[in-house]
Homo-oligomer: A and B are copies of this chain.
Amino acid sequence: MRAEGGRSRNGAPSSIDLLLTDARILDVFSGEIWRGDVAVAEGRIVGFGAPRAENVRDLDGRWMIPGLIDAHVHIESSQLVPREFVCAVLPHGTTTAIADPHEIANVLGLDGVRYMLNATSGLPFRAFFTAPSCVPASPFETPGAVLGRNEVEEMLRWDRVIGLGEVMNYPGVVRGDPGVLAKLIAATGLPIDGHAPGLAGPDLWAYVSRGPRTDHECTTLEEAREKLRAGMHILIREGTATRNLDTLLPLLTERTAPFVHFCTDDRHPETLIREGHIDGLVRRAIAGGARPDVAVAAATIHTARAYGLADLGAIAPGYRADFVILSDLQTVRVDEVFVNGVRVAADGACLVDVPHGSDEDVRRTVRVDPGRLSFRIRSEGDRAAEARVIRVAPEQVVTDEVRLVPRTADGEVVADLGRDVIKIAVVERHRGTGNVAVGLVQGFGLLHGALASTVAHDSHNAVVVGVTDSDMRVAIAELVRIGGGQVVVADGEVVAVLPLPIAGIMSDRPLDDVASAARELKLAAGRLGCTLPAPFMTLSFISLPVIPHLKLTDRGLVDVDRFRPVSLFV
């Protein structure tokens, strides 16, 4: 919002648009809750009272807190386009988000980031972005785009791009890789988000010294304390798969609140429905013993200040009139939500008809010729040759490597249901290179059919697992037909599908539709024998070669621990 201001900020408000009376106002500066009135004009709070107003609303002693801020989110992980994401989170009191669009950037590069900016423009929501710093995440895969220093510099010049996105390549930072350092230098003086799971001691000091000043990857309190001491703001994350609030909550005190914030990072539709958004984190923080004013301040003024958003995060003159009316502070019961002084949500429902922008440029991103696909694996001449098999575990993004002699038939490797080993393939889908890498995976429990998805971090190629090559081919063909998404195939037929036509990773439907389609996918997978509680989540991390231990990209297997490609057969 820094580029605005101007006349509406410095000119005299001609009249008061809205006067809210008898509110219990949470003053984030002092922590006090006081009973009073709030006047709004031209989208901003202009004072604590007014002799007259166009509209007067009596809040009857209900609580009023600033609009909540998600300090770090990948909107794409909601599988919702920005307008539907906004409609999903506004009723939970989130009025601002700092989003890293690195998922769509891996598919569409700068065009993808531009789409996210355009798609959030004109919404009753403040979406700020960080320039993705690590596209692609590794050199072992074929993404839709590569963002170098020049692209980062270009994005940093765009309005609403406020800093550098999570610098996941922490080994590169610590080693001093010129390409990574160039991006950090480009962002000197701006907020730089970190991502450094487990980093400690001298490596942590080197990482922080070079610029990143936040971390949302702490999984132990000890790790968070060390990073806070090193000057990092700690973003307490509650995603769908990664949940750190219970562990990290003791870090949040009245003393540390300026440096501790809340984020959702990756939150899937079903979690948005079941647990809400930042309101859920604040609620659980309070239930866990945080003082309400401290938890709210962490999620509002202190996040705004940490990211240089001068006019957000407080109920005070000159601030944007973004606020939340609660019927109960202790349990964060959201009644109504206002942005720019306009009521945008009430009783859990989004009240705004958010405009549909053009999204033609971000459709039809799955460029694969299904007719030319082959998932054959020739068996090695040596019948005792061991293969490297990816072993997945329920609700884990980390995989293991197991070695076993695969089952063969007619000189080709085939599924081995007795040992729960099936084929997996990653199909390059951005550039039509024809790259297909085929491997073996253990742990899905699939007895027949195939599962496929174009949501596959971070390059978002098409990933498919299946018992037969033919079902795998049908699954990929369906993804091509619908322009990306997630699909379950059995006996040559599509039995469940979630179309994600926007860049192959986002739906154009509302939250409830997406969540119910996702449920259908899970049930269909279960009917095929799949034993994983979240098979498509597991699938989506199986090709991310920056998470241990054995991963498959469109170019083949990667031993993440040694950070190098390896062959299927040992």
Contacts and interface: CB of A to CB of B under 8 A. Distances in A.
Nearest to A228: B29
Contacts of A229: 27, 29-30, 32, 34, 48, 316
A57 interface: no
Prevailing SS type, chain A contact patch: loop
Interface string A316-333: 111100000000000000
B255 A31 contact: yes
Contacts of A256: 29-31
A548 B231 CA distance: 47
Interface stretch (A4-12, A396-404, A412-420, A513-521): A4-12
Contact of A5 (B32, B48, B185): B185
Query: What range describes how many residues of A lie at the interface?
Result: 35 or more
Interface string A44-55: 101111000000
A179 interface: no
Which of A2, A7, A27, A318 lies at the interface centre, i.e. has the most chain B CB atoms within 10 A of its CB? A318
Which of A2, A13, A176, A208 lies at the interface centre, i.e. has the most chain B CB atoms within 10 A of its CB? A208
A189 B5 contact: yes
A185 B10 contact: yes
Interface string A183-221: 011001100000000000010111011110100000000
A181 B49 CA distance: 23
A231 B29 contact: yes
Interface in A249-280: 254-256, 258-259
Nearest to A210: B10
18 contacts: A2-B189, A6-B188, A12-B206, A27-B229, A29-B228, A29-B259, A30-B225, A44-B209, A46-B205, A46-B206, A46-B209, A47-B202, A48-B230, A206-B317, A209-B317, A230-B316, A231-B316, A254-B254
Interface of A: 2-3, 5-7, 9-13, 27, 29-32, 34, 44, 46-49, 176, 181, 184-185, 188-189, 202, 204-206, 208-211, 213, 225, 228-231, 254-256, 258-259, 293-294, 302, 305, 308, 310, 314, 316-319
